[in-house]
Amino acid sequence: MRAADIAVQMATVAEDMPAREAAKVLAGQDLPGLIVVDTKGRPMTVLAGTQVLRMAMPSYCQDDPALARVIDEAAADVILNGIGDRTVADLLPRERHVLPAVEPKATLLEVAAVMARSSVPLVAVVDGDQVMTGAITLDGLLDHILGT
């Protein structure tokens, strides 16, 4: 079995996408982060979901989460207003996570080796032009390797 056989389609976001829209993409899929691609569809980085929350939540709540309890406003409004008019690029941390990539014919062990070097439980599968054709999650990889 090869990388292409276990890769799945995943929603991606562009750097210039409004971050509010990206937050909804994040909520709509079972992933800990968002894959950011360039205009040609080449994976650039991963935006961790916790980073989106970090940029959205008022800082006094992060300093003292108990204060969040007294906010008399719908949680969705607080988060979407906190994101404001920023784009995905505005939310990316200075030190970006590198999203590792493999070619479609990579073996599962090769994918495991690439993922082992990373702190991100995701590997992109890219074609000869580095365009993403799918992605492999840690869970998907272990499902196939350990047969669960």
Q: How many residues bind a second copy (CB under 8 A)?
A: 54
Dist. CA 18–CA 85, nearest whole Å: 7
Q: How far is CA 51 from CA 23, 42, 44, 47, 55, in A?
A: 11, 21, 16, 7, 6
Question: According to CB under 8 A, which residues from 109 to 138 bind a second copy?
Answer: 109-110, 112-121, 138
Residue 120 or 135: the one with the smaller Cβ distance to a second copy is 120
Q: In sequence order, which residues have a C-beta less than 8 Å from that of residue 72 and are 6 or more positions away?
A: none
Q: Is 17 in the site for a second copy (CB under 8 A)?
A: no
Instruction: Pick the binder of a second copy from 14, 31, 89, 98 (CB under 8 A).
Output: 31
Q: Is 9 in the site for a second copy (CB under 8 A)?
A: no
- Nearest in space to 102 (alpha carbons), one of 75, 81, 122, 74: 122
Residue 33 corresponds to which amino acid?
A: G
Q: Which chain residues interact with a second copy by CB under 8 A? A: 23-24, 26-33, 48-50, 53-54, 56-57, 61-62, 65-69, 71, 75-76, 78-80, 102, 106-110, 112-121, 138-139, 142-143, 145-148
